[in-house]
A and B are shown apart, each in its own frame.
Chain A
Amino acid sequence: GENVEQHPSTLSVQEGDSAVIKCTYSDSASNYFPWYKQELGKGPQLIIDIRSNVGEKKDQRIAVTLNKTAKHFSLHITETQPEDSAVYFCAASIDNYGQNFVFGPGTRLSVLP
């Protein structure tokens, strides 16, 4: 079955710096890759996603890149702010409907003021 790895497990950056989180997946059939942000005591919230037919997608300070050949995708956050501090999860879909996800273990991002 699909296996999603995520690195690093924790990441601390200074406010204003960039943060990069990387994920790899094992199933070449996976075709949809969302990223979720989870704040303390809350449920995960979608922040950006990418389909397998796209190499890069950007939304303001957040971007995601996908390398299908290497089976890895990355989240890039620029100009980090304290409110970016949270746990970030990558995921890969394992069914044709793009709704059954395998999640990575998460990255705890701390943005230091």
Chain B
Amino acid sequence: DAGVIQSPRHEVTEMGQEVTLRCKPISGHDYLFWYRQTMMRGLELLIYFNNNVPIDDSGMPEDRFSAKMPNASFSTLKIQPSEPRDSAVYFCASSAGLAGYEQYFGPGTRLTVT
């Protein structure tokens, strides 16, 4: 398996623009997670899905952030409008089940908002 695939790997955009990050989880995994990593706040869970349904979105920072999972093999994280403080590395991860099942992380998307 190719593992979790994220695109783009790097994104540079101007403040106010819409940004869409994409993720393809490992085939057969029921859970999908979106994380944000910054020096100041560390690694934070934004939202996670089970069988394409959002289970917990309490980590989504504000209404500018939205996530969707239209099918089992694709998810998006959208930021509209983007702000410089959104600059971070965004990771997508997937797992096959509950506690004890490893979360497999993708390589991340480094977002820079100028």
**Residues of A with Cβ closer than 8 Å to B?**
31-32, 34, 41-46, 49, 51, 89, 93, 95, 97-101, 103-106
Chain B contacts of A45 at CB under 8 A?
A: 105
Chain A contacts of B75 at CB under 8 A?
A: none
Nearest-CB residue, chain B, relative to A47? B102
Taking a contact as CB atoms under 8 Å apart, the answer to whether A42 and B107 are in contact is yes
Decide yes or no: A43 and B107 within 8 Å by CB, A93-B99, A99-B98 being known contacts. yes
Question: Does any Cβ of A come within 8 Å of B106's Cβ?
Answer: yes
Taking a contact as CB atoms under 8 Å apart, the answer to whether B99 and A51 are in contact is yes
Nearest-CB residue, chain A, relative to B91? A43
Decide if the interface of chain B is mainly helix, strand, loop or mixed.
Answer: strand
Question: Does any Cβ of A come within 8 Å of B25's Cβ?
Answer: no
Query: How many contacts A-B (CB < 8 Å)?
Result: 53
Decide yes or no: A32 and B43 within 8 Å by CB, A99-B95, A100-B48 being known contacts. no
CB B55 to nearest CB in A, in angstroms, measures 8
How far is B104's CA from A42's CA once the two chains are assembled, in angstroms? 11
Q: Can you offer 22 A-B residue contacts whose CB atoms are under 8 A?
A: A32-B99, A41-B107, A42-B108, A43-B91, A43-B106, A44-B91, A45-B105, A46-B103, A49-B100, A97-B98, A97-B99, A99-B31, A99-B48, A99-B103, A100-B45, A100-B48, A100-B56, A103-B42, A103-B43, A104-B42, A106-B42, A106-B43
